[in-house]
């Protein structure tokens, strides 16, 4: 009888360890997915006119500067021409 209880206790301990390891594995996999998502973000650029931040693909680039809209791109062009 004592042997049976010992085996039962051993089984419970093994079950707890296995379920904990499995849970940690799922958690670290979820963390890895989150990190993978955040490690490949799109570059953010700042509009040279209004200072708003936006993804590089949504911005307008001109002379090494980025703009949030076509309007700000043109606005900046006028300012540059005025300076010269």
Applying CB under 5 A, the residues found at the interface with Zn ion are 47, 49-50, 68, 72
CB 12 within 8 A of CB 20: no
Minimum CB–partner distance for residue 41 and Zn ion (Å): 20
Pairing outcome for strands 65-67 and 53-55: unpaired
CA 30 to CA 38: how far, in whole Å?
Answer: 12
Provide φ and ψ at 65, rounded to 5°.
-115, 160
Minimum CB–partner distance for residue 58 and Zn ion (Å): 11
Minimum CB–partner distance for residue 78 and Zn ion (Å): 14
Nearer of residues 45 and 72 to Zn ion, judged by Cβ? 72
Nearer of residues 20 and 53 to Zn ion, judged by Cβ? 53
CA 48 to CA 72: how far, in whole Å?
Answer: 8
Nearer of residues 41 and 51 to Zn ion, judged by Cβ? 51
């Amino acid at each position: 009888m004592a042997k049976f209880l010992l085996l039962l206790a051993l089984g419970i301990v093994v079950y707890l360890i296995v379920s904990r390891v499995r849970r940690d594995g799922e958690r670290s996999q979820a963390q890895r997915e989150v990190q993978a998502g955040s490690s490949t973000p799109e570059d953010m650029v700042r509009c040279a006119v209004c200072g708003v931040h936006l993804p590089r693909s949504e911005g307008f680039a001109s002379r090494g500067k980025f703009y949030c809209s076509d309007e700000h791109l043109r606005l900046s062009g006028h300012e540059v021409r005025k300076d010269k």
